[in-house]
Amino acid sequence: MERYLNLQDPVAIADFMLSVIDFLPAKDRKLYEQAAEAVHGGERLPKEHLAEMAKNIAGITWPARRALDHFLKTIGSELEWEAVITNVRPATALLLKRLRKNAGTSDLESTLAHPDAGLAIHSEQEIEINMVRDEARIDLFETHKDALAPMIEEALVEFEAIKKRLKKIREQVFEMKGAAQDTLLARLEDMEDRVYFGGEAPALEALDAELQFDREEAALPSSD
């Protein structure tokens, strides 16, 4: 399965850090900006250090990213639509409006996910939409911080619970030996990739369920 972020690719890591850096307070950005600038400038930084930085910034920004995602899928969905429509080129805006009307969708997310979108939107327009959308999301985050504040607090509690469960699973994995450990570690790393870099929030029970077969095969104790 393809990962959200290839931790062996310094440029991909640098790009990820820059993509989420606006969710950090300005005073906390310098370290990540310097690392990304160094990578883009051709400097070779230790991959393990970059991977650690990527996971760190992903964890710090996860609650804000999660809250914004929830906001844009609910009360803020029309705000995102209007922001994108206003800032893409007129031809792209017209295409999106037609797609939304014909597909009967209610927001940008569902419009872009509709099968017709894949046929109608050219690669150049897709890049344009994604760039404008990324900028719009950051603008909406900055201008709706008051509304997002309680959502961020809820997301922080959610993230801490997920981290705790992942840590417990990791401790169990490292009790194993040989191939059994390798199999479970690969599954765990996939979960962490989806959570940290994909911004997913799987139910705690799902984290165990995904590993249950391998845990039983390896005679690992339950995480409960």
Residue 55 located in a structural domain: yes
Distance CA 143, CA 94 (A): 26
Predicted pLDDT of residue 188: 84
pTM: 0.86
Q: Does 219 score more than 80 pLDDT?
A: no
Distance CA 47, CA 201 (A): 26
- Dihedral through CA 37, CA 1, CA 111, CA 80, nearest 10? -30
Q: Which of 143, 168, 192 is the last residue in one of the domains? A: 143
- H helices present in 77-203, as ranges: 77-87, 90-103, 108-113, 115-120, 123-143, 145-173, 178-192
Arithmetic mean of pLDDT, 26-49 = 95
Residue 14 located in a structural domain: yes
Distance CA 88, CA 133 (A): 9
Give per-residue pLDDT as tens, 10-21. Answer: 999 999 999 999
> 1 to each of 52, 93, 187, how far by Cα in Å?
22, 34, 10
How many domains is the chain built from?
2
- Do residues 38 and 87 both lie within one domain? no
- Do residues 27 and 53 both lie within one domain? yes
When pLDDT is cut at 50, 70 and 90, the band that residue 212 belongs to is low
- Do residues 126 and 42 both lie within one domain? no
Q: Which of 143, 160, 192 is the last residue in one of the domains? A: 143
Q: Does 60 score more than 80 pLDDT?
A: yes
- Do residues 178 and 92 both lie within one domain? no
Q: Does 207 score more than 70 pLDDT?
A: no
Arithmetic mean of pLDDT, 133-140 = 95
Predicted pLDDT of residue 134: 93
Q: Which of 60, 64, 61, 34 is nearest to 49 (CA)?
A: 34
Residue 89 located in a structural domain: yes
Q: Which residue segment(s) compose the domain that 190 sits in?
A: 10-73+145-218
Predicted pLDDT of residue 223: 52
Q: Does 111 score more than 90 pLDDT?
A: yes
- Do residues 136 and 91 both lie within one domain? yes
- Do residues 116 and 154 both lie within one domain? no
Q: Which of 97, 117, 143 is the last residue in one of the domains? A: 143
Q: Does 224 score more than 60 pLDDT?
A: no
Give the other-Cβ count within 10 Å of 97's Cβ: 13
Give the other-Cβ count within 10 Å of 162's Cβ: 21
Residue 113 located in a structural domain: yes
- The DSSP output letter for 76 is T
- Do residues 39 and 138 both lie within one domain? no
Residue 199 located in a structural domain: yes
* Three-point CA angle 163, 167, 170, nearest 5°: 140
- Do residues 99 and 136 both lie within one domain? yes
- Do residues 133 and 164 both lie within one domain? no
Residue 98 located in a structural domain: yes
- Do residues 28 and 66 both lie within one domain? yes
Residue 3 located in a structural domain: no
Predicted pLDDT of residue 176: 72
pLDDT averaged over every residue in the chain: 90
Residue 224 located in a structural domain: no
When pLDDT is cut at 50, 70 and 90, the band that residue 148 belongs to is very high
- Of all residues in the chain, what percent carry a pLDDT higher than 90? 75
- Do residues 213 and 156 both lie within one domain? yes
- Do residues 120 and 69 both lie within one domain? no
Arithmetic mean of pLDDT, 137-160 = 96
When pLDDT is cut at 50, 70 and 90, the band that residue 147 belongs to is very high
